Amino acid sequence: MSTFFLDISISLDGYVAGPNITLEEPLGKRGEQLHEWVFATRGWREPHGLEGGEDSADSEIVKKTVENVGATIMGRRMFSGGAGPWESDPNADAWWGDDPPFHNPVFVLTHHARESQPKQGGTTFHFVTDGIEAAFAQAREAAGDKKIQLSGGAQVAQQYMQAGLLDEIHLHVAPVLLGGGQRLFDGQTNELERVSSSESPSGAIHISYRLVK
């Protein structure tokens, strides 16, 4: 059965986005500091169509993460930054242009139905209106034996943890205190097992946990 994992950068004080999230600053104030480690890697830059980047241990971590992913799940806010009917969402076509970096079917959790949106490079956005379990079932169907990645955001991650469906959490803990914003953990009490950890030259720590079921 495919592994369902969350891979996310987080501040030392537990935030996956800073305060004051806007369309211009979708990661909130100072939120991009969480991702400095990944922006520096070739493993991240290449699938995002950017030149350069380092072939570091961090880059290997990124490559290994996206390797063999057969489906992706994300929340509506992560997709477009918006909420409510699509007609009034100024970013209804999302952040990633015609060639998004997913290269697999992406299931977007939303309350507002919409036709699937095929893009270049193997990414198709599907919009799921009947809840997290339905999205998970569709993602499993699409992924086959491959992994399923939960992209975020925090609320969706909390719902999947609560439902006991998530298998693994890979955290990249940035050496940053944001002082506010969107917390990844908020009342979850899942039992954890540490799987691995390593240092990033950026000052972050990579830590992986298995959720005990």
Query: For the chain, how many residues are written?
Result: 213
Q: In this complex, which beta carbon is closest to a second copy, that of residue 78 or of residue 171?
A: 171
Q: DSSP state, 132?
A: H
* 26 binds a second copy, rule: CB under 8 A: no
To the nearest whole angstrom, how small is the minimum distance from the Cβ of residue 199 to a second copy?
Answer: 5
Amino acid identity of 138? Q
* 187 binds a second copy, rule: CB under 8 A: yes
* 12 binds a second copy, rule: CB under 8 A: yes
Q: Which of 3, 14, 36, 46 binds a second copy (CB under 8 A)?
A: 14
Half-sphere exposure of 25 (CA within 13 A, CB side): 12
Q: What is the enclosing helix (H) or strand (E) of 117?
A: strand 117-118
* 189 binds a second copy, rule: CB under 8 A: yes
Tokens found for residue 153: 């955001």
113: Cα separation from own chain's centroid: 22
> Quick one: 88 exposed, middle or buried, by C-beta within 10 A (0-12, 13-18, 19+)?
exposed
Number of residues that bind a second copy (CB under 8 A): 26
Q: In this complex, which beta carbon is closest to a second copy, that of residue 88 or of residue 189?
A: 189
Q: Which residues bind a second copy (CB under 8 A)?
A: 12-14, 171, 173, 175-180, 185, 187-190, 192-194, 197, 199, 203-205, 207, 209
